[in-house]
Amino acid sequence: MIRVAVLLVIQLVLVACAIHQRVDPVPRMAAREICIVNNPDVREGFLEAYQRALVAKGFETKVLDKLATPRDCPVTSTYTANWRWDLALYMAFADIRVYADGKKVGQAVYDSLSGSGNLGKFINAENKIKELVDQLFPAPVGG
C-alpha cells in the first residue's frame, strides 16, 4: 500500500512539472504576406525571431502597430510571450495566433509555466519559435 502511495506521489510530481505544447495548424493559404501585430510588452527579439521563421517558410512579413486589429490585413498574426528566471532566464510561455479575414485559423502555444522542476524548460527561444512556426504552417506557401 505504501509503495502504491509513493508511486502516485511521484507521478503527481512529474505531471506537475509538465511542459505543454499545442498547435492548431493553419490550413493551406494562398496569401504570401502575414501582417504581425507588434506586441511591445514582449521581450525584445521575439518579433525578429518570429519574422525570420516566417520568411524561412516563404512568407513576407509586415509589422503593424499594436493598436491594429486582425481585420487591418487579410492575414494577421498576434503573439505574446513571457520569460521567467530560475537559475537562468528562459522563455516560459508563447502564444502565436493567426487570423484570416479577422477569423482565427491557427494557434501555437508553448507553456512551461507548470514545469518548475523540469529542466526541459531551458530551451533556445528562437529554435522554439521556429519549431512552432513550422508546425503552425505545415503547408507550402502559395495557393
Band the pLDDT of 117: cuts 50, 70, 90.
Answer: low
Cell matching residue 28: 493551406
Q: pTM higher than 0.75 for the full model?
A: yes
**Nearest CA-CA partner of 76 in 58, 95, 96:** 96
* Contact in structure between 125 and 49 (CB atoms under 8 Å): yes
CB atoms within 10 A of CB 40: 8
Q: State yes or no: pLDDT of 124 exceeds 90.
A: no
- Beta-carbon neighbour count of residue 21 at 10 Å? 14
pLDDT confidence tier of residue 8, bands split at 50, 70 and 90: very low
CB atoms within 10 A of CB 109: 16
Mean pLDDT of 36-45: 92
Higher pLDDT, 34 or 72: 34
pLDDT at 20: 83
Q: Above 60 in pLDDT, residue 121?
A: no
Residue 7: the pLDDT is 42
Q: What is the pLDDT of residue 86?
A: 72
Give the SS3 label for residue 121. Answer: helix
Is pLDDT of 80 > 90? Answer: yes
Q: What is the pLDDT of residue 139?
A: 74
